[in-house]
């Protein structure tokens, strides 16, 4: 026996209550769950810990990162063993050499992946989807279930015209053939977007497709039994409902699963999300398969005074200073005794907001000590108040002090919790690997347990595990993963139920080309096993095992 | 629908970590819809309504919102 996990609280992903037991693993597979008499070459004592299937993250943009980091750090540290990249109409293949810079522009806009990272971190040695898969497979620690992007299919077939018009019949047929090729090479499905835009703020190619084109591509998905992922107009409830209807029709017609993401809770309008969910239930009861994705983490707002933020739109003087100002005039207003007095007076009745702001980033050495603290704490250290600290830090940093206001949206725990456990909702939409310069997209699974299982009791730990393991594997038709079951691939996460969480957000420089990103460490995740080998331990970090596979399609 | 008006404004958090302004528009038949505006659309709307603060937008007609949205074209 290669590996035996002893005495764990087994939560097998099926939703059944946890029970004490062992798990035996051989040749990358689970061979026994229960009492294991044999001794393993490696033995892991899991006493007091939860042993669950590895988590599956169905909405990520790790595409580029996988070219230089086959572990998609820090996903595995958070217990994630399978990721779905290629969402939102964008994948890195198939891609003709001529279109590389165009696609880099789109990735730069949507993922905030810097141009330099592509220059220094990427050897462009693929065009077809199969060549891309062969390329990333070489050094894979995490499992990858890759989507192929609709915008990319269009770019391949139509070139620049893909950003201007609908496709002709011949072009649509060419896209169908190309999609089939990608699915045969291992793509788990197709992603498209109705809302994303490129680096010149133009709609991405998929947005120029008409309904007939999407229908033709979905016919190919139907022949291969693969999924369609859609970014819908999530900020407009009426359009969201119309998209649910559209996906339901497509789903019934081509017998495919569809998923739309993200669906948010609008604190001022619970009725909106209720209406969307009601329509999903109605359509699914009428034979459709439509899965809205809901993220666990709340939305944070970040800002600096170098870019006008709407946070100040209700403060007449502040908004005027920012809206009509240049960095120099904003600095001057903050420095001028009279104007500063006026600004402070106007904003002082919102002191609660300023106190909770977190200083995220500064450029001077002297102020590094305050990064990560909230303004109330910094104010106390400096003997002033939070509002004056915000102004002082901005002056000291030439306006380059970055502030974060946490929990500004999608943050009603009862409402979000009831959605997350809803039987017609998929937990997802982490956007892992995207928005890397704005906020951390890692640790949403830890947050599910800390906030919605432990603190808010929205669901049991067994339900939470099921939601991010076997439910996700079922929806995405990922075979033999998501359960702790004999014969299944041994993707296993061992964690402490009392401690599992996402850590604080921080800024690191670990992107090729001296690029930065926001990340979070995990808490309480002790061991992560992928394909039967230990890929990560809390104590020892990452191992050299490379057992990640392309899953979900024929590799 | 021509006399649809802004009846309320509030701040919200957009998907990608920016603040956005939500304006509630009431139609003549009583229906209310919420329109999110990004920074660019908000600024265009503030200018069109000669508003100094978001609350000054209340009472203005929906055409100004439509034109402001065109300024931003598309937020994503
Ligand atoms: Zn996305």
Asked if residue A217 and residue A165 are part of one domain, the reply reads yes
A547 domain-assigned: no
Asked if residue A243 and residue A377 are part of one domain, the reply reads no
A246 domain-assigned: yes
User: What CA–CA distance (Å, rounded) separates A426 from A262?
Assistant: 10
Which residues span the domain enclosing A107? 55-298+410-541
Residue A555 has pLDDT above 60, yes or no: no
Q: Residue A41, exposed/middle/buried by CB under 10 A (0-12, 13-18, 19+)? A: exposed
Residue B42: list chain A partners with CB under 8 A.
Answer: 310, 313
Q: Does A234 touch chain B (CB under 8 A)?
A: yes
**Tokens in use for B37?**
């505006």
Of A266, A269, A309, which is closest to B19 when you measure between CB atoms?
A: A309
Asked if residue A402 and residue A327 are part of one domain, the reply reads yes
A312 domain-assigned: yes
CB A536 within 8 A of CB A7: no
Rounded to two decimals, what is the model's pTM?
0.89
A549 domain-assigned: no
Average pLDDT, chain A: 94
**Interchain pair B16, A438: CB under 8 A:** yes
Distance A146 CA to ligand 1 centre (A): 13
Residue in this structure with the two tokens 């004592």, named with its chain if needed: A45
Tell me which residue of A275, A195, A268, A280 sits closest to A231, measured CA to CA: A195
- Cis ω before A74 (30° cut-off from 0): yes
Asked if residue A334 and residue A308 are part of one domain, the reply reads yes
Of B11, B73, B76, which is closest to A310 when you measure between CB atoms?
A: B11
The pLDDT value given to residue B75? 45
Instruction: Please list, in sequence order, all residues whose beta carbon lies within 8 angstroms of the beta carbon of residue A118, skipping any fewer than 6 positions away.
Output: A64, A104, A107, A513
Distance A411 CA to ligand 1 centre (A): 20
- pLDDT digits over A436-460, tens only? 777 888 999 999 999 999 999 999 9
Using beta carbons and an 8 Å cutoff, which residues of B are at the interface with A? 10-22, 33-36, 39, 42-43, 46, 52-55, 73-76
What φ, ψ does residue B12 adopt, rounded to 5°? -145, 175
A19 domain-assigned: no
**Tokens in use for A9?**
């609280």
Q: Which residues pair with A19 in a beta bridge?
A: A10
**Tokens in use for A264?**
């948010």
Domain count, chain B: 1
Residue in this structure with the two tokens 């990004």, named with its chain if needed: B38
A76 domain-assigned: yes
- pLDDT digits over A457-496, tens only? 999 999 999 999 999 999 999 999 999 999 999 999 999 9
Which of A132-146, A291-305, B14-28, B60-74 has the largest mean confidence?
Answer: A132-146
**Tokens in use for A363?**
């450029």
Query: A82-96, A108-122, A226-240, A407-421: which has the minimum mean pLDDT?
Result: A108-122
A284 domain-assigned: yes
**Interchain pair B53, A269: CB under 8 A:** no
A59 domain-assigned: yes
Asked if residue A365 and residue A415 are part of one domain, the reply reads no
Instruction: Please list, in sequence order, all residues whose beta carbon lies within 8 angstroms of the beta carbon of residue A214, skipping any fewer than 6 positions away.
Output: A150, A192, A250
**Where do runs of H (alpha helix) occur along A309-406?**
316-324, 327-335, 337-347, 351-356, 375-382, 386-396
Q: Does A269 touch chain B (CB under 8 A)?
A: yes
Which residues span the domain enclosing B25? 5-73
Query: A53-62, A172-181, A297-306, A526-535: which has the minimum mean pLDDT?
Result: A297-306
What average pLDDT does range A23-32 have in this prediction?
Answer: 98
- Boundary of a domain, candidates A359, A388, A407: A407
Please give the ipTM for the structure prediction. 0.81
Domain count, chain A: 2
Residue of B nearest to A110 (CA): B76
Q: b/e for A341-358, b at 16 or more Cβ within 10 A? A: ebbeebbeeeeeebbebb
Residue A294: list chain B partners with CB under 8 A.
Answer: none
């Amino acid at each position: 026996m290669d590996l035996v996990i002893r005495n764990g609280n087994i939560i097998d992903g099926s939703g059944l209550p946890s029970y004490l037991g062992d798990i035996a693993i051989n040749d990358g597979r689970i061979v026994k769950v229960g009492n294991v008499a044999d001794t393993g070459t490696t033995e892991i004592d899991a006493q007091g810990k939860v042993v669950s299937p590895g988590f599956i993250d169905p909405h990520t943009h790790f595409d580029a990162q996988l070219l230089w980091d086959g572990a998609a750090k820090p996903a595995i540290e958070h217990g994630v063993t399978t990721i779905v990249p290629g969402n939102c109409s964008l994948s890195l293949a198939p891609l003709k050499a001529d279109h590389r810079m165009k696609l880099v522009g789109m990735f730069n806009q949507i993922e905030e992946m810097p141009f330099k990272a592509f220059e220094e971190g990427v050897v462009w040695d693929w065009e077809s989807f199969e060549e891309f898969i062969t390329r990333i497979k070489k050094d894979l620690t995490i499992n990858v279930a890759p989507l192929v992007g609709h915008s990319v299919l269009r770019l391949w077939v139509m070139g620049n015209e893909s950003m201007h018009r609908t496709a002709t019949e011949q072009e649509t047929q060419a896209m169908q053939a190309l999609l089939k090729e990608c699915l045969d090479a291992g793509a788990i499905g197709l992603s498209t977007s109705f809302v994303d835009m490129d680096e010149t703020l133009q709609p991405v190619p998929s947005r120029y497709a008409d309904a007939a084109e999407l229908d033709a591509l979905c016919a190919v998905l139907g022949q291969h039994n693969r999924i369609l992922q859609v970014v819908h107009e999530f900020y407009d409830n009426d359009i969201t409902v119309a998209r649910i209807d559209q996906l339901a029709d497509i789903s019934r017609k081509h017998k495919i699963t569809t998923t739309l993401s993200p669906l948010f809770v609008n604190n001022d309008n619970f009725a909106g999300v209720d209406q969307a969910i009601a329509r999903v239930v109605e359509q699914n009861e009428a034979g459709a398969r439509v899965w809205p994705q809901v993220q666990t983490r709340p939305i944070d707002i970040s800002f600096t005074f170098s870019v006008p933020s709407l946070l100040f739109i209700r403060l007449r003087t502040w908004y005027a200073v920012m809206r009509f100002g240049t960095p120099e005039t904003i600095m001057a207003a903050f420095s001028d005794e009279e104007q500063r007095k006026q600004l402070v007076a106007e904003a002082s009745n919102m002191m609660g907001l300023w106190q909770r702001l977190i200083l995220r980033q500064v450029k001077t050495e002297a102020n590094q000590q305050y990064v990560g603290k909230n303004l109330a704490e910094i104010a106390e250290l400096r003997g002033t108040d939070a509002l004056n600290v915000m102004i002082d830090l901005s002056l000291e940093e030439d306006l380059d002090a970055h502030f974060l206001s946490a929990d500004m949206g999608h943050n009603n725990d009862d409402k979000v919790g009831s959605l997350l456990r809803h039987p017609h909702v998929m937990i997802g939409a982490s956007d892992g690997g995207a928005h890397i310069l704005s906020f951390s997209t890692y640790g949403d699974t830890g947050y599910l347990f800390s906030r919605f299982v432990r603190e808010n009791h929205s669901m049991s730990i067994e339900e939470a595990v099921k939601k991010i393991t076997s439910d996700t594997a079922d929806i995405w038709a990922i075979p033999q993963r998501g359960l702790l079951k004999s014969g299944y691939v041994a993707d296993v996460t061992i964690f402490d139920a009392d401690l599992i969480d996402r850590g604080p957000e921080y800024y690191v420089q670990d992107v090729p080309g001296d690029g930065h990103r926001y990340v979070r460490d995990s808490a309480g995740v002790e061991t992560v096993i992928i394909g039967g080998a230990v890929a990560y331990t809390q104590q020892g970090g990452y191992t050299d095992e490379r057992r990640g596979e392309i899953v979900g399609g024929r590799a | 629908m021509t006399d649809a008006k802004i009846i309320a404004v509030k701040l919200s958090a957009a998907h990608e970590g920016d603040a956005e302004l939500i304006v509630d528009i009431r139609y003549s038949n009583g229906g209310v819809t919420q329109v999110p505006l990004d920074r660019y659309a908000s600024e265009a709307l503030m200018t069109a309504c000669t508003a100094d603060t978001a609350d000054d937008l209340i009472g203005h007609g929906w055409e100004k919102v439509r034109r402001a949205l065109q300024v931003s074209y598309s937020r994503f």
